[in-house]
Amino acid sequence: MPDATRGFVRSIDNGILEKEIDLEAILINTYHLFLNPGMEIIKKAGGAHKFMNWSRPLLSDSGGYQIFSLIHKNSRLGKITEDEVIFKSPTDGTKHILTPEKAIQIQFDLGVDMMVCLDDPSPNDYPKEKIAQAVSRTIRWANRCKKEYEKQIKVRKISEKNRPLIFGVIQGGQYLDLRKHCTQELVKIGFDGYGFGARHIDSKGNFMEEVVRETASFIPKNALRFALGVGTPEDIVKCFSYGWDMFDCVIPTREGRHGRLFLRKEKNVIASEAKQSRNISTNSFANIQDDKSFYETININNGKYKDDFSRVDEHCDCVLCKNHTKAYLHHLFASKEMLGMRLSAIHNLKFYADLLGALRNSVN
């Protein structure tokens, strides 16, 4: 899922997202939409689907990550208590209060297909004692979220067939015992899916192999596993091989806007990479550690592309690769033309969509 944080995938319209890239779902952010345009407008529009004119599945994250990051960076911007989180809007300074119950109500008002509990995503480098407190709060809040969810289902008379799916978020930083405890407690409450909370990389930027792998194994087999905010193509392949099957990330679009493109090294190499990952048992993860062999990245701003009239990606059939050369794309970026950023974001999204399609096919 690309991050349509504020209700749009920057510069790319739904027609491209559906027909060209064939995305199955996109992610929106409760916190950002709550602040702007605000729930009154969204409700008036008839929900986020209608407001955005997006008919395929929508997943909203709770906004916890954004609010807690804000407060962890600057404690004057908010306060976390047992009952609620109080925060100031970074744009206009207005004060807002979010509770686990309110986070769920807002997501029902958004009318999404998948929603996420409000959690306490403390940074991975916090001392263990502080992470343990965050885990406890995450569990207590998950309980409140689930109760509110059941209440809203009744009040809004939503049938079992039409109810949105609800995800609990597993916290615990880099501590496997805390991740395990958090997962077990969330499973007792019972959710449709479970997310890997906070970051999947440690404070030094290293992929937390053991924690990410083992946490997936704690989740019941029939539940969805959502690796929030993952990641680079090789991290996605790795997480997939551990059992994670849903991902959201800003990388393809953000990198594209900066002129960094993901290129396939061979025609079917993504598919073969996926097949390989399926065959890797959870104990032999080292085989694909840091494996970037199936793709490369280029920065189209580099002067060497000025007169490179080759296709951007030999093995891609997106609008950029079908119609334009590297030299032309370089020229668009040199001219700071929005079209270049847009085409590159489309290409990167197609690369990611194809990667995920290949991973999906490998287990069908």
Catalytic residues: 61, 248
- Contact characters 340-359, Zn ion, x per CB under 5 A: -------x------------
| CA 346 from centre of chain | 17
Q: Among residues 274 and 318, whose Cβ is nearest to Zn ion?
A: 318
300 to 319, contacts with Zn ion by CB under 5 A? 313, 316, 318
For the CB of residue 350, give the shortest distance to Zn ion in the complex, in Å.
5
Q: Among residues 113 and 266, whose Cβ is nearest to Zn ion?
A: 266
Q: Among residues 249 and 320, whose Cβ is nearest to Zn ion?
A: 320
Alpha-carbon torsion angle 343, 348, 353, 356, nearest 10: 180
Give the whole-angstrom CA distance, residue 287 versus residue 325: 35
Per CB under 5 A, 146 contacts Zn ion? no
Give the whole-angstrom CA distance, residue 229 versus residue 1: 10
Per CB under 5 A, 58 contacts Zn ion? no
For the CB of residue 307, give the shortest distance to Zn ion in the complex, in Å.
20
Q: Among residues 321 and 359, whose Cβ is nearest to Zn ion?
A: 321
Q: Among residues 104 and 346, whose Cβ is nearest to Zn ion?
A: 346
Q: Among residues 10 and 180, whose Cβ is nearest to Zn ion?
A: 10
Show the tokens assigned to 71.
Answer: 């407060």
Q: Cα dihedral sign for 251, 255, 260, 266? A: positive
Find the DSSP H helices in the chain: 14-15, 30-35, 39-45, 48-52, 64-73, 100-110, 128-155, 176-189, 209-218, 233-242, 251-257, 269-279, 319-323, 326-334, 338-363
- Please name the residue that has the structure tokens 């794309």: 329
For the CB of residue 318, give the shortest distance to Zn ion in the complex, in Å.
3
CB-based contacts of 335, cutoff 8 Å, min separation 6: none
Give the whole-angstrom CA distance, residue 175 versus residue 183: 12
Q: Name the DSSP class of 206.
A: -
Count residues binding Zn ion (CB under 5 A): 6
For the CB of residue 315, give the shortest distance to Zn ion in the complex, in Å.
9
Q: Among residues 230 and 321, whose Cβ is nearest to Zn ion?
A: 321
Q: Which residues of 337-354 are buried (b: 16+ CB within 10 A; e: fewer)?
A: eeebbbbbbbbbbbbbbb
Per CB under 5 A, 321 contacts Zn ion? yes
Per CB under 5 A, 257 contacts Zn ion? no
For the CB of residue 168, give the shortest distance to Zn ion in the complex, in Å.
37
Q: Name the DSSP class of 140.
A: H
For the CB of residue 316, give the shortest distance to Zn ion in the complex, in Å.
3
- Residue 122 and residue 171 in contact, taking contact as beta carbons nearer than 8 Å: yes
Q: Which H or E run contains 246?
A: strand 246-247
Can the peptide bond before residue 231 be classed as cis, meaning omega within 30 degrees of 0? yes
For the CB of residue 356, give the shortest distance to Zn ion in the complex, in Å.
15
Residues that bind Zn ion (CB under 5 A): 313, 316, 318, 320-321, 347
